[in-house]
C-alpha cells in the first residue's frame, strides 16, 4: 500500500512540474511570436494607438512580470480576460469545454466500440486470411485518411442529400436534443476514424501476441472453453496496450478537435484556441493550452496509475 | 517454432459470446451519462415568431470602436449598428444618411443639416452634440484613429443652430464627403462615451438598423432590429444571426442545405465556381474599389529593390489578366492605384502597366541584378498564395527567382507593417479603395501613412501629386488624378495588381436581397434594412 501511495505521489508531483513547465513554455512561445496583439489588431494604425492598446492590457510590461501576474491569477482560478472582447475567459470556457469534452467522449466511445471488437475479431481469427485481412486493411485505411478529408466528404454528401444529419449547424444540447444529436454525430464520427484504426491495430496485435503464449496452450490443453480463454486470458492481458492506446488517442483528440471543430463549425476549445492564436489574444491561448495540458497530464497520470494498479511490477519503477 | 504455430484459433462466434451484453450496456450507459452532462452554448439564437436571417461570415469582428477599426471584417458588423453623416449609393456617390443635406460653403467649409428624429437604439435622441463630438473624437490624437488624414485636417467642427454642423478644414480636401461615409466616421452617443457609461471598444450602440443582443466570441452574434431606426418601416427583418464560419466549404455546404440564408466569401477565388449550379443559390460577385498590391521594399538597405530599375523590371513582368484568371478564378480586374470603378485612371497611358518582357530584360540588365533570387512574403490565404505563384512565373521569364514564403497573419504584419525598415523584399496584400479615388493613394506617402515607412521610398513628386489630388476639385481633378496614377505606376514601389472582389451568395428561395454591385467600404450587407425573408 505504501508503495502504491508513493507511486501515486510521484506521478502527481511529476504532473504538477510538467504543468508549470508547460505554462512557462507556452507563455514565452506566444509572446515571442512575431506580431503582437496590438500589431495584429491595429496593423495600420498609428503607433500611439498600438501603444494605448499595449498599455491598457499591460502588454508593455517585462515578460517575467506579466507571467507572474498571470500565474498568480490562474492560481486563484482567474484565467484572465480576452483582449478582444474583454470578457472573462472562464465564461467562454463554460460553454466551450463541455462541447469539446462531449465530442471527445463520443469519438472515444465510437472508436472503442467499433475498433476493439474488430481488433479482437481480427486477432482471434488471424489465421483466416480473409477475416484478418479485411480488419487489417480497414484499420490501415481509416488511419491513413486525414480528418479533414473525411470531413470534406461528409460535408458534401450530407449537405447535398438529406440524410438526416446536419453539417455546420451546431445545436446546443439544452435547446433541442434531437437537433443536437444530429449536429454532433458527423464531427464525432470524423474524429473517431483514427481511433478506430488505432484500436483495431493495437487490439489485433495484442491478441495475436497473447494467443502465442504458453499459458494459452496450457489452457487449451486443460480443455478450457474458448469463451473462458478470451475472458480469462485475452481480455485481461490486452488491458495495458489498450490503456496506452487510449491515452495516445486522447492526446490526439485535442489536435484532431481543432480541425474537426473548424470544418464543422463546432464552438469548442479547438476553434477558440486557433482564433486566439491568430489574433494573438494571449490570455485565450495561455488559458486554453493550460487547460488542455491539464487534461493531457491528467490522462497520462491516470494511465500511469492504472498501469500500476493493473501490473504491480510497474510500481517499483 | 513460430508464433503462428503456437497460437490458438478462435471463431467470431466464440468472440461474440465472450463480449457480454451487460458489459456493453454498462459502457454505453456511462458514456451517455457523460455526454448528457455536457452543456451547450447558452441562449437561443432564434427567437420564436421573429423573422430571422442567418448570415455566415468567415472572420470575427475584432475591433468594436468604429473610429479606430482598421479591418474590413470589423466594418462589416459595425455598418449594421452605426450610421454616419453620409452614405454612398450604387455608384459610390454620396447620399444623405444622418445628414439630410450638405453644402460646400467655400473650399474649406462644409455645412451639414442633420436629420431630425434620429435616435440611437436605446431610444435616446441623436443630437448635434453627438455629431460634433464624434467628428472631434476621430480627430483627437488620444483616440488614435488612422482616419484622421483621409478625413482631412479639420480646423473646427461647430454646431450651427439646432440642426446644423459646420466643418471647417485647414486646407481644401475633396475626399471629405466620401471619407465621412466610412465607418470610421460613425456617429456615437457621445454623452455616454464621455461619461464612461459606454466603452465603445467593448460594446456597440449606434443609430443603425440593428442593435447587438448577444455575442459568443468566435462563434456568433445576434442582432435585433433597432426599433428607433430613422427610416420608417425598416429594417424588414427582425433578427440577424451572424455565424462565424471560417471554412469556405462549410459555408457552401450550409447554403446548399439551406441552414443559412446568406454567406460572404472574402476574396475566395473558388467560391463562385463551387456555388455555380447549386439550386436556389444566387451568387453576387461585387465589383469593388479594393485592390491587391505587390509591395517591393525600396527602403531596407539589404533589399535589392532599392534599385528602381529592378523594381520597374518586375513591374513589367506582371500579367494582370493572368493573375485575375489563374489565381483568382476570373475574379478581379486589372487595376492601377485607382480602381476601374472610379473611372479616374487611364491605364493605357501608364508607363509600366502591362507586361513587356523585352523592356523588363533591358531594365534588369541595366540594374545588374540578373539571376537574382528574392523572397516573396505572403499570408496563408489561398488567393495570395496563388497570386504569388503567378507572379513568380512572370519574373522567372526574365531570369528572376521569387521564393514564396507563406506566414501567418501576425508574422506578416510584423515584418510588413510594423518593422521599420520592413523585413521583406517583396510582399502581397490589399488596400481598401473607398469611394474616392484619392483616399488610398495616401499610403504612398510614407511620412503620412506611417505603416508604409519601412518599405515605401519618400518621393516628393508623389507626395505633391497626392496633395494635389486631395485638394483639387471640379473638372481640373481628372488630370491631377491621372498624373498621380502615372507617378505611382512609375515608382514601381507598391504596385497595384487587380481588384479584390468579394463574393456574396444567398438563398433566393428564402431571401429577397438587393445586394450592392459596387462596394468600397466592405459593407457586405449594404441595403440590409430592405432585405426580406420569403
Would you call A34 an interface residue with chain B, using a CB distance cutoff of 8 Å? yes
Partners of B511 in the β-ladder: B533
Chain A contact set for B249 (CB, 8 A): 152, 155, 263
Question: Domain B292-499 carries which CATH code?
Answer: 3.10.105.10
Q: Do A278 and B408 touch (CB under 8 A)?
A: yes
**Residue B7: what pLDDT?**
41
**Across B28-51, average pLDDT:** 47
Three-class SS state of B6: helix
Answer whether B179's CB lies under 8 Å from B440's CB. Answer: no
Answer whether B198's CB lies under 8 Å from B189's CB. Answer: yes
Residue A65 — φ and ψ, nearest 5°? -70, -45
Assess whether pLDDT exceeds 90 at residue B209.
yes
Give me the helices (H) in B142-195, please.
148-151, 176-180, 190-195
Omega before B421 within 30 of 0, i.e. cis: yes
Assess whether pLDDT exceeds 60 at residue B38.
no
- Tell me the count of A-B CB pairs closer than 8 A: 239
Looking at B22-26, B327-331, B525-529, which range is the least confident one?
A: B22-26
Query: What are the distances in angstroms from CA A13 to CA A6, A290, B65, B179?
Result: 10, 17, 47, 61
Q: Do A43 and B250 touch (CB under 8 A)?
A: no
Compute the mean pLDDT over every residue in chain B, rounded to the nearest whole number. Answer: 91
Chain B contact set for A35 (CB, 8 A): 408-414, 418
**Residue B407: what pLDDT?**
94
**Residue A243: what pLDDT?**
84
Kindly state the cell numbers that stand for A265. Answer: 463549425
Domain count, chain A: 2
Chain B contact set for A87 (CB, 8 A): 217
Residue of B24, B30, B62 for testing the chain A interface, max A β-carbons within 10 Å = B62
Kindly state the cell numbers that stand for B182. Answer: 466610412
Distance from CA of B154 to the nearest CA of A (A): 18
H or E segment to which residue B479 belongs: helix B477-491
Distance from CA of A56 to the nearest CA of B (A): 12
Kindly give the pairing relationship between strand B52-57 and strand B262-265.
Answer: parallel
Looking at A251-255, A278-282, A306-310, B237-241, which range is the least confident one?
A: A306-310
Would you call A157 an interface residue with chain B, using a CB distance cutoff of 8 Å? no
pLDDT bucket at A258, cuts 50 / 70 / 90:
confident
Distance from CA of A65 to the nearest CA of B (A): 23
Distance of CA B275 to the CA centre of its chain: 22
Per-residue exposure over B346-382, b if at least 16 CB sit within 10 Å of its own CB, e if not: ebeebebbebbeebbbebbeebebeebebbbbbbebe
- A63 and A140 housed in the same domain: no
For B202, the closest of A41, A86, A155 (CB atoms) is A86
Query: What are the distances in angstroms from CA A129 to CA A117, B3, B347?
Result: 18, 16, 71
Looking at A81-95, A140-154, B14-28, B385-399, which range is the least confident one?
A: B14-28
For B219, the closest of A46, A87, A267 (CB atoms) is A267
Q: Do A220 and B249 touch (CB under 8 A)?
A: no
**Residue B272: what pLDDT?**
84
Answer whether B454's CB lies under 8 Å from B417's CB. Answer: yes
- A185 and A246 housed in the same domain: yes
Q: Do B40 and A99 touch (CB under 8 A)?
A: yes
Kindly state the cell numbers that stand for B382. Answer: 489561398
Classify burial at A76, counting beta carbons within 10 Å of its beta carbon; exposed 0-12, middle 13-18, buried 19 or more: exposed
Residue of chain B nearest A91, judged by CA positions: B216
Kindly state the cell numbers that stand for B348. Answer: 493605357
- A72 and A22 housed in the same domain: yes
Query: What are the distances in angstroms from CA A267 to CA A152, A153, B76?
Result: 18, 21, 21
Query: How far is Cα B491 from Cα B315, in angstroms, rounded to an integer?
Result: 10
Condensed to tens digits (0 to 9), the pLDDT of residues B279-309 reads 999 999 888 999 999 999 999 999 999 999 9
Kindly give the pairing relationship between strand B373-379 and strand B426-431.
Answer: parallel
- pLDDT more than 90, % of chain B: 85
Other CB atoms within a 10 A radius of the CB of residue B340 amount to: 16
Answer whether B293's CB lies under 8 Å from B431's CB. Answer: yes
Query: What are the distances in angstroms from CA B496 to CA B221, B291, B403?
Result: 35, 7, 20
Assess whether pLDDT exceeds 50 at residue B417.
yes
**Residue A256: what pLDDT?**
86
**Residue B48: what pLDDT?**
65
**Residue B2: what pLDDT?**
35
Contact partners, residue B308, CB within 8 Å, separation at least 6: B298, B491, B492
**Across B356-380, average pLDDT:** 97
For A211, the closest of B7, B15, B18 (CB atoms) is B7
Q: Indicate if ipTM > 0.85.
A: no
Kindly give the pairing relationship between strand B494-499 and strand B511-512.
Answer: unpaired
Looking at A143-147, B59-63, B175-179, which range is the least confident one?
A: A143-147
Compute the mean pLDDT over every residue in chain A, rounded to the nearest whole number. Answer: 88
Query: How far is Cα B118 from Cα B134, in angstroms, rounded to an integer?
Result: 15
Hey, which residues 188-247 in chain A have their CB within 8 Å of chain B?
208-209, 211-214, 216-217, 220, 226-227, 229-231, 234-235
H or E segment to which residue A260 belongs: helix A239-264
Residue of A61, A59, A62, A78 lying closest to A70 (CA atoms): A78
Chain A contact set for B147 (CB, 8 A): none
For A267, the closest of B3, B41, B254 (CB atoms) is B41
**Residue B44: what pLDDT?**
52
Domain containing A76 equals 1-84+281-317
Is A114 inside any structural domain? yes
Looking at A309-313, B103-107, B116-120, B160-164, which range is the least confident one?
A: A309-313
Per-residue exposure over A214-247, b if at least 16 CB sit within 10 Å of its own CB, e if not: eebeebeeeeeebbebbeebbbebbebbbbebbb
Q: Do A172 and B41 touch (CB under 8 A)?
A: yes
Distance linking the first and last C-alpha atoms of chain B: 77
Q: Do B8 and A211 touch (CB under 8 A)?
A: yes
Torsion on CA atoms B71, B341, B439, B496, rounded to nearest 10: 80
Is A247 inside any structural domain? yes
- A41 and A74 housed in the same domain: yes
pLDDT bucket at A154, cuts 50 / 70 / 90:
very high
- A23 and A77 housed in the same domain: yes
- A307 and A254 housed in the same domain: no
- A38 and A77 housed in the same domain: yes
Looking at B18-22, B113-117, B160-164, B356-360, which range is the least confident one?
A: B18-22
Kindly state the cell numbers that stand for B509. Answer: 428561395
Query: How far is Cα A277 from Cα B354, in angstroms, rounded to an integer?
Result: 40
Residue of A33, A36, A42 for testing the chain B interface, max B β-carbons within 10 Å = A42
Q: Do B7 and A212 touch (CB under 8 A)?
A: yes
Q: Do A105 and B34 touch (CB under 8 A)?
A: yes
Residue B287 — φ and ψ, nearest 5°? -80, 130
pLDDT bucket at B19, cuts 50 / 70 / 90:
very low
Chain B contact set for A159 (CB, 8 A): 252-254, 256-257
Q: Do B38 and A173 touch (CB under 8 A)?
A: yes
- A79 and A150 housed in the same domain: no
Q: Do B141 and A160 touch (CB under 8 A)?
A: no
**Residue B493: what pLDDT?**
98
**Residue A252: what pLDDT?**
85
Query: How far is Cα A64 from Cα A147, in angstroms, rounded to an integer?
Result: 39
Would you call A179 an interface residue with chain B, using a CB distance cutoff of 8 Å? no
- A116 and A77 housed in the same domain: no
Hey, which residues 49-108 in chain A have their CB within 8 Å of chain B?
49, 52, 82, 84-87, 92, 94-95, 98-99, 101-102, 105-106
**Residue A315: what pLDDT?**
60
Question: Of A45-54, A230-239, B415-424, where does the model show the most confidence?
Answer: B415-424
- DSSP line for A116-141: HHHHHHHHHTTTSHHHHHHHHHHHHH
**Across A23-27, average pLDDT:** 93
Amino acid at each position: 500500500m505504501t508503495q502504491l501511495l508513493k507511486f501515486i505521489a510521484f506521478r502527481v508531483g511529476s504532473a504538477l512540474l510538467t504543468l508549470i513547465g508547460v505554462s512557462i513554455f507556452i507563455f514565452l512561445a506566444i509572446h515571442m511570436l512575431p506580431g503582437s496583439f496590438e500589431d495584429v489588431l491595429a496593423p495600420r494604425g498609428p503607433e500611439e494607438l498600438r501603444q494605448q492598446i499595449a498599455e491598457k492590457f499591460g502588454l508593455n510590461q517585462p515578460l517575467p512580470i506579466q507571467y507572474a501576474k498571470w500565474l498568480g491569477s490562474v492560481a486563484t482560478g482567474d484565467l484572465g480576460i480576452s483582449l478582444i472582447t474583454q470578457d472573462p475567459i472562464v465564461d467562454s470556457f463554460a460553454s466551450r469545454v463541455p462541447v469539446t469534452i462531449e465530442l471527445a467522449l463520443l469519438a472515444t466511445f465510437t472508436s472503442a466500440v467499433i475498433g476493439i471488437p474488430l481488433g479482437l475479431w481480427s486477432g482471434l481469427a488471424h489465421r483466416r486470411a480473409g477475416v484478418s485481412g479485411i480488419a487489417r486493411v480497414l484499420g490501415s485505411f481509416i488511419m491513413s485518411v486525414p480528418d479533414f478529408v473525411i470531413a470534406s466528404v461528409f460535408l458534401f454528401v450530407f449537405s447535398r442529400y438529406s440524410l438526416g444529419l446536419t453539417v455546420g449547424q451546431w445545436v446546443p444540447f439544452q435547446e433541442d436534443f434531437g437537433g443536437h444529436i444530429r449536429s454532433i454525430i458527423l464531427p464525432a464520427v470524423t474524429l473517431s476514424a483514427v481511433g478506430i484504426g488505432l484500436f483495431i491495430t493495437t487490439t489485433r496485435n495484442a491478441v495475436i501476441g497473447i494467443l502465442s503464449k504458453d499459458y494459452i496452450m496450457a489452457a487449451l490443453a486443460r480443455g478450457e472453453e474458448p469463451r473462458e480463454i478470451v475472458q480469462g486470458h485475452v481480455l485481461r492481458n490486452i488491458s495495458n496496450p489498450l490503456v496506452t492506446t487510449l491515452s495516445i488517442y486522447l492526446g490526439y483528440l485535442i489536435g484532431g478537435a481543432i480541425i474537426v471543430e473548424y470544418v464543422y463549425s463546432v464552438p469548442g476549445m479547438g476553434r477558440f484556441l486557433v482564433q486566439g492564436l491568430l489574433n494573438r489574444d494571449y490570455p485565450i491561448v495561455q488559458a486554453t493550452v493550460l487547460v488542455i495540458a491539464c487534461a493531457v497530464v491528467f490522462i497520462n497520470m491516470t494511465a500511469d496509475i492504472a498501469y500500476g494498479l493493473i501490473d504491480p511490477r510497474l510500481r517499483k519503477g | 517454432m513460430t508464433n503462428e504455430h503456437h497460437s490458438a484459433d478462435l471463431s467470431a462466434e466464440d468472440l461474440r459470446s465472450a463480449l457480454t451484453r451487460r458489459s456493453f450496456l454498462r459502457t454505453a450507459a456511462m458514456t451517455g451519462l457523460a455526454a448528457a452532462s455536457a452543456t451547450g452554448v447558452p441562449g437561443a439564437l432564434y427567437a420564436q415568431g421573429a423573422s430571422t436571417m442567418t448570415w455566415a461570415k468567415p472572420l470575427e469582428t475584432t475591433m468594436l470602436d468604429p473610429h479606430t477599426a482598421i479591418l474590413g471584417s470589423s466594418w462589416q458588423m459595425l455598418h449594421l449598428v452605426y450610421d454616419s453623416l453620409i452614405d454612398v449609393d450604387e455608384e459610390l456617390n454620396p447620399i444623405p444618411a444622418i445628414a439630410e443635406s450638405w453644402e460646400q460653403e467655400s473650399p474649406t467649409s462644409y455645412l451639414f443639416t442633420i436629420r431630425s428624429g434620429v435616435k440611437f437604439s436605446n431610444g435616446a435622441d441623436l443630437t448635434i452634440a453627438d455629431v460634433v463630438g464624434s467628428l472631434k473624437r476621430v480627430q483627437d490624437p488620444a483616440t488614435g484613429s488612422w482616419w484622421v488624414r483621409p478625413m482631412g485636417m479639420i480646423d473646427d467642427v461647430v454646431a450651427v443652430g439646432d440642426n446644423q454642423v459646420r466643418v471647417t478644414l485647414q486646407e481644401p480636401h475633396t475626399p471629405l464627403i466620401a471619407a465621412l461615409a466610412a465607418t470610421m466616421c460613425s456617429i456615437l452617443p457621445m454623452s455616454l462615451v464621455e461619461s464612461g457609461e459606454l466603452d465603445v471598444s467593448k460594446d456597440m450602440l449606434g443609430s443603425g438598423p440593428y442593435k447587438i443582443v448577444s455575442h459568443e466570441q468566435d462563434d456568433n452574434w445576434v442582432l435585433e432590429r433597432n426599433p428607433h431606426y430613422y427610416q420608417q418601416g425598416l429594417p424588414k427583418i427582425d433578427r440577424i444571426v451572424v455565424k462565424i464560419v471560417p471554412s469556405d466549404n462549410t459555408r457552401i455546404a450550409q447554403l446548399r442545405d439551406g441552414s443559412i440564408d446568406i454567406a460572404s466569401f472574402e476574396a475566395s477565388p473558388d467560391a463562385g465556381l463551387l456555388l455555380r449550379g447549386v439550386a436556389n443559390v444566387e451568387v453576387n460577385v461585387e465589383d469593388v474599389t479594393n485592390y491587391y498590391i505587390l509591395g517591393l521594399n525600396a527602403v531596407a538597405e539589404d533589399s535589392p529593390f532599392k534599385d528602381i530599375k529592378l523594381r520597374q523590371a518586375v513591374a513589367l513582368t506582371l500579367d494582370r489578366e493572368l493573375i485575375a484568371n489563374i489565381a483568382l478564378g476570373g475574379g478581379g480586374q486589372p487595376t492601377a492605384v485607382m480602381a476601374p470603378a472610379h473611372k479616374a485612371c487611364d491605364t493605357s497611358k501608364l508607363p509600366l502597366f502591362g507586361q513587356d518582357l523585352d523592356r523588363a530584360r533591358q531594365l534588369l540588365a541595366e540594374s545588374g541584378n540578373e539571376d537574382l533570387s528574392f523572397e516573396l512574403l505572403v499570408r496563408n490565404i489561398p488567393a495570395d498564395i496563388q497570386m504569388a505563384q503567378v507572379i513568380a512565373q512572370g519574373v522567372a521569364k526574365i531570369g528572376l527567382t521569387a521564393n514564396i514564403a507563406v506566414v501567418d497573419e501576425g508574422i506578416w504584419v510584423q515584418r510588413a507593417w510594423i518593422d521599420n525598415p520592413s523585413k521583406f523584399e517583396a510582399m502581397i496584400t490589399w488596400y481598401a479603395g473607398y469611394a474616392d479615388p484619392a483616399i488610398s493613394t495616401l499610403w504612398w506617402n510614407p511620412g503620412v501613412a506611417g505603416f508604409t515607412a519601412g518599405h515605401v521610398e519618400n518621393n516628393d513628386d508623389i507626395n505633391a501629386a497626392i496633395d494635389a489630388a486631395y485638394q483639387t476639385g471640379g473638372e481640373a481633378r481628372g488630370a491631377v488624378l491621372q498624373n498621380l496614377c502615372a507617378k505611382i505606376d512609375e515608382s514601381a514601389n507598391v504596385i497595384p495588381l487587380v481588384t479584390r472582389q468579394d463574393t456574396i451568395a444567398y438563398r433566393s428561395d428564402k431571401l429577397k436581397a438587393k445586394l450592392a454591385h459596387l462596394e468600397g467600404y466592405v459593407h457586405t450587407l449594404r441595403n440590409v434594412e430592405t432585405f426580406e425573408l420569403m
